[in-house]
Amino acid sequence: MDNSPTALFDSYEQDFRQIIDSIHLKLDGEGKDERGEQRRAALRRVEMELDEADEMISQMEIEIQGIPQSIKPQYQNRLKTAKGDLVRFKKLSKDIHSQVSRAELLSSGRVGTPTSDEPYGPTSDRTRLLAGTATLDDGTRRLQESQRIALETEDQGAEILMNLRTQREQIENSRDTLRTADTAIDRASGTLKKMIRRMYQQRVVTAAIIVVLVLVIAIILWEKVFR
């Protein structure tokens, strides 16, 4: 398992690139020639993949906070590029949604020729026209809802990043406190060792003094007894 500080960022970036490649194929690659329901289904899958890509960006923003300052600038540039790609494909998806809706609206209005009695064409044509307009309005509403959700997600991501940054600062402060405590313990341990060493030295000196006193007393007694 790679425990380097950039491992998770690299993994999220790789997942992001795979999602972006899939979106590119659906919007501007092989899926470009699809029509009708196939095209609409592809666009729905693109919407889901854009949400996944947005989540990968959020994870990359979180992981970049823990990357060392010496290499952080190059990862910030990679994150900026990824954000630019996401914005570009979101705009492309929105444009294609609008094109598909307009094409459906136009195709529904081509059948039937207006007459003086029915200036807007046969009743069935008017129904299709109204249905196409409703589809366009519904697509616009869904796009607006997606944008709203994206903005809410962005705000939540920013709040999460702020909380994580605060927690990281608290952890770093706790580490500093632990280092200070370790230093104090080391100093106290050194002081205790010195005190114990001095105690042993005092014991040795005391024992030596006792031995000398005993010898002196013994000499004095010997002189008194044998003289």
Determine the average pLDDT of the residues in 124-140. 72
User: What pLDDT does 8 receive?
Assistant: 92
Does the structure show a pLDDT above 60 at 62? yes
Long-range pairs for 215-218 at CB < 8 Å and ≥24 separation?
Answer: none
| Residue range 77-128, pLDDT digits in tens | 999 999 999 999 999 988 888 887 787 777 665 544 444 444 444 455 667 6
CB neighbour class for 26 (10 Å; exposed up to 12, middle 13-18, buried from 19): buried
| Residue range 162-208, pLDDT digits in tens | 778 778 878 777 787 788 877 878 887 888 888 888 888 888 888 88
Helix axes 72-108, 123-226, angle to 10 degrees: 160
Are the beta carbons of 31 and 39 closer than 8 angstroms? yes
Angle value at C-alpha 54, between 138 and 31, nearest 5 degrees: 60
Q: What's the CA gap between 97 and 100, in Å, rounded?
A: 5
Which amino acid belongs to residue 150? A
Q: What's the CA gap between 25 and 66, in Å, rounded?
A: 34
Q: What's the CA gap between 103 and 115, in Å, rounded?
A: 24
Determine the average pLDDT of the residues in 203-227. 86
Residues across the chain: 227
User: What pLDDT does 179 receive?
Assistant: 82
Are the beta carbons of 13 and 82 closer than 8 angstroms? yes
Helices (H), the chain: 7-28, 36-63, 72-108, 123-226
Q: What's the CA gap between 215 and 221, in Å, rounded?
A: 10
Are the beta carbons of 50 and 34 closer than 8 angstroms? no
